[in-house]
A and B are shown apart, each in its own frame.
Chain A
Amino acid sequence: MPEANIVLKNCGVIDPARLDSYLAEGGFEALEKASGAMTPAEVVAEVKASGLRGRGGAGFPVGLKWGFTRQAPAEIKYVICNADEGEVGTFKDRYILEGDPFGLIEAMAIAGYAVGAGRGFIYLRAEYHFLKDKLAGAITQAKEKGLLGGFEIEIYEGAGAYVCGEEMALMESLEGKRGEVRYKPPFPPSRGLWGQPTVINNVETLMSIPRIIKNGAGWFTAIGTEKSKGSKVFSVSGDVGKPGVYELEMGSPLRELVEDLAQAQDTKAVQMGGATGRLLPGAMLDTSLDFENVLGAGSVIVYNSSRDMVDIVHRNLEFLAEESCGKCAPCREGTQLMVVVFKRILAGKAKERDIEFLKELATTMSLTSLCGLGQAAPSTLLDSLSHFEDAYRARMKDIAGAVT
């Protein structure tokens, strides 16, 4: 399948500093159509019919989220754009924010109209501070031209915490608090920011909205697979010839992304979805990229045959132990203890029962952690044990054939 061009349609085409350049490409026609020719309920229905699902990793149907928020009885509602792209190996939202800031603003205004929110926030990760002025400039231009109606968009900067990409932690942070996870329910559409109904969507998710409104849900559902409509944007890094941002139709084979586009060779494994993602062996390159199979938030890190998977998983776990918010016991203590066990493995001091312990610990963390970070923290570990067990066995103390 060829590269898709939905989300990234304007990136590299328009001048991101000039509103007229965006308007020349049909910018703000979707918002005009939504607010002029459609009722808010019709906008929500259109998004529902498009089958669009969240691109942040969880894949929740966007139309449902919007519908719940619209129906929530409250005077004040909010729209949040999650631009706290912190997953290891992802930079696609940065690329979108750099290349098409107006598209995001238009999408947020459509969301505001659909759910009845008058105020929106872009939660921008601290590391992307250099994008703040560009985004602010885009908002000002759109506002001065009267394109946003009364919809207000503010940029809120994070302060360096991966966990704030989790929606509950993000809202805590936006309220000026520690970015710790809140328990659910209540969910954001009923009680989100400052206790008000809130729609919170990732940058990439929002970028499909103007296209759906403009071209209709039918156009969108024709792209992709049965359960995964539209396209997905990937950030490819690691052992590849051409690292970068690529957009593919849902259902495309992983091989096309890593070998044809990013020009990887001699691939031993691909880590999909960052530190909390999946680790696929090179033999699984024909897996298709969609919610039915493997997707993640869009981070794709490629490892060639020279890489040591035990070392890689150790690095993932160290990252998660550092970034755990510390609120719930399984994640706070579990990520730390996994790192301790890995230090033993790397030192050649681990025994078979340590691996058994890691598996039991992984199960408990997945089942009991408060948020997605802790629940998915052991996933690269478990995948590496399934696909690269030899790498572990070679380091075990009490196994025949092990290097001692």
Chain B
Amino acid sequence: MAKPGKGTITVTINGSAAMGSEGMTLLELARQSGIEIPTLCHHEELSAIGSCRICVVEVEGARTLVASCHTPIAPGMVIQTHSEKVLAARRMITELLLASHPDSCLVCDKANRCQLRHVATDLEAAQPQVRGRKRCYPIEDVSPYIKRDLSKCVLCRRCVAACREMAGQNVLHMAYRGFNSKVVVDTDRPLDKEVCRDCDICVNVCPTGALSLVEESGSKKKGKPLFIKG
């Protein structure tokens, strides 16, 4: 381990000392230390969003769990990334997302490339015992480039951030409030923008089957089978 220098911060993570530089997030430090923390809204090339809360960890002395993707490390922090409390919370959040997820998940083209499924499988999250409200939106396939099925959207906002920060466009925005929040184009029109030609940045960052390329359907391998409990 390197000697502590100026701007070096030492913390304890899962019982072992770890060093990071100032401004680093808990998630970055964990990954640097070889500890895997599940994420949904986080994307390395985007600024932190903090919406999904899947990446929460336990920090000694904190009143609540903290989201590792946007919380900077501080000297002397004692962090638990996989305590029972943390795992139970991550599992419940995943189940909440599954509760409003459509049943068409079973036959979704994203199949086992779906990050929600990966997270659910890793956490052994089950279909929640309470059947929640589903979000029902018509599939938007007006655009010759991108297809949107917002019933499958988990509202992580990666696409909104990617469109702005990576593509340099401002096509996607958040609208409405609460459970009815939705990623919209203009005044909630179906996506049909010429600027989306040759740009699949939002599709690439979408963790679920909400965004896909028009020609993609049925043409890609779906990966190894995953099992969801329950």
Direct A/B contact, Cβ within 8 angstroms: yes
Q: Are B70 and A321 in contact (CB under 8 A)?
A: no
A360 within 8 A of B: yes
Q: Which of B8-16, B178-186, B220-228 is the contact stretch?
A: B178-186
| Cross-chain contact A326 with B154 (CB below 8 angstroms) | no
Residues of B within 8 A of A340 (CB): 130-133
Q: Is A366 an interface residue when CB atoms closer than 8 A count as contact?
A: yes
Pair A183/B133 contact, Cβ less than 8 Å? no
CB of A201 within 8 A of chain B? no
CB within 8 Å of B: which A312-334 residues: 321-330, 332-334
Asked whether A329 lies within 8 Å of B64 as measured between CB atoms, the reply is: no
A401 within 8 A of B: no
Q: If the complex has contacts A361-B92, A364-B89, are A321 and B154 also in contact, measured as CB distance less than 8 A?
A: no
Contact B93 A368 (CB under 8 A): yes
Chain A binding surface, main DSSP class: helix
Chain A residues lying within 8 Å of B93, measured Cβ to Cβ, are 329-330, 364, 368
Contact with B along A128-151 (1 / 0, CB 8 A): 000000000000000000000000
Are A370 and B53 touching (Cβ within 8 A)?
yes
Cβ-closest chain B residue relative to A331: B178
Closest-CB distance, A189 to chain B (whole angstroms): 16
Contact A368/B132 with A324-B179, A329-B154 known, Cβ cut-off 8 Å:
no
Cβ A183 vs Cβ B50 within 8 A: yes
- Say if the beta carbon of B37 comes within 8 Å of chain A: no
The distance from the CB of B55 to the nearest CB of chain A, in whole angstroms, is 10
Q: Which residues of B contact A323 (CB under 8 A)?
A: 178
A219 lies within 8 A of chain B by Cβ: no
Chain B contact residue count (CB 8 A cutoff): 37
- A177: nearest residue on chain B (CB-CB)? B174
Query: Looking at the complex, which of B96-104, B142-150, B193-201, B206-214 is the stretch in contact with chain A?
Result: B96-104
CA of A329 to CA of B177, assembled, Å:
13
Chain A residues lying within 8 Å of B132, measured Cβ to Cβ, are 333, 336-337, 340
- B50 and A370 within 8 A (CB): yes
Contact assessment for A369 and B53 in the assembled complex, using a CB-CB cutoff below 8 Å: yes
Contact A325 B178 (CB under 8 A): yes
The reply on A60 being an interface residue by CB < 8 A is no
CB distance from A403 to the nearest CB of B (A): 22
Would you call A332 and B155 a contact (CB within 8 A)?
A: yes
A353-B129 in contact given A329-B154, A337-B96, A364-B88 (Cβ < 8 Å): yes
A375 to B129, CA, bound (A): 22
Asked whether B53 lies within 8 Å of A326 as measured between CB atoms, the reply is no
Report if B162 contacts A (CB, 8 A): no
With a CB–CB cut-off of 8 A, which chain A residues contact B89? 363-364, 367-368
Q: List residues 169-206 of chain A with CB under 8 A from any CB of chain B.
A: 178, 180, 183, 185
B residues near A, CB below 8 A?
48, 50-54, 56, 64-65, 67, 70-72, 85, 88-89, 92-93, 96-97, 99-100, 128-133, 154-155, 174, 176-181
A-B contact pairs, 16 of them (CB 8 A): A178-B174, A178-B177, A326-B177, A329-B54, A333-B99, A336-B178, A337-B99, A340-B131, A341-B130, A353-B129, A354-B129, A357-B130, A368-B64, A369-B64, A370-B53, A370-B67
Q: Which 3 residue pairs across A and B have the least CB separation, nearest first? A: A326-B181, A333-B96, A364-B92
Q: A325-B177, A337-B132, A367-B56 are in contact. List 7 more A-B contacts (CB 8 A).
A: A329-B97, A330-B96, A333-B97, A341-B130, A361-B96, A370-B51, A370-B53
